[in-house]
Amino acid sequence: MTNLQPFDKMPFLNTAVVLLVGQEEKCVKKIVDAMLKAPKNFEVQIHVAPRLPLPKENEHLRPRIDMVVFIINFFSQPTLSELLSSLSKLDSHFFLGKVCFLEVRGGHVNQYGPKKITVQKMAETYQSPLLFLSPDCEEDVACVAHRLLHMLQICAGLVSGVSALDMVSVVKSPVF
């Protein structure tokens, strides 16, 4: 098992690689399907892992990962603890615009619950975007997939004049 690093391998031409980390299998499948169906002008490779670190075996075959998306189930405590454990397995350079948190919601959501505040604070602490997904709504899944693809395209360096560091501007800035 090894820590994941963003610049340890060379990128492929006109290709972006995303790693989805989470144990929400139904949700991950819907996101993957929507990302693959969406129109795009670059090739996308999607890898899925329930948690980090990734196994050391076949590491030499693994492509460079351009963006990591942590999928959090709002109502699952194990998901939250797995996320906290996985965050420590990422190289700090990933937190320069190459990490996104995706909160899965379903049913009635308490806007001010303690888990909600924890996830928001985590996203703010790591200065990473926080997206919300209702997996039962196909329109919502398509919208989130489109946003993830756009962010991935930027993280992979496929948008001229924009870098992954600009992703920090997506995050809510403090009000003075």
Kindly report, residue by residue over 3-49, the tens digit of the pLDDT.
666 666 777 788 999 999 988 888 999 999 999 999 999 999 999 99
Contacts 24+ apart (CB under 8 A), 27-36: 27/71, 27/73, 27/104, 27/133, 27/135, 28/71, 30/135, 30/141, 31/71, 31/102, 31/133, 31/141, 31/144, 31/145, 31/148, 34/141, 34/142, 34/144, 34/145, 35/145, 35/148, 35/149
Please, which pLDDT band fits residue 176 given cuts at 50, 70 and 90? very low
Residue 162 in tokens: 């924009």
- 167, 77 Cβ separation under 8 angstroms: no
Would you say residue 107 has pLDDT above 60? Answer: no
Q: Which string of DSSP letters, residue by residue, matches 120-138? A: HHHHHHTT--EEEE-TT-H
Would you say residue 77 has pLDDT above 50? Answer: yes
Domain boundaries, the chain: 34-170
Q: What is the CATH number of domain 34-170?
A: 3.40.50.300
Model pLDDT, residue 175: 44
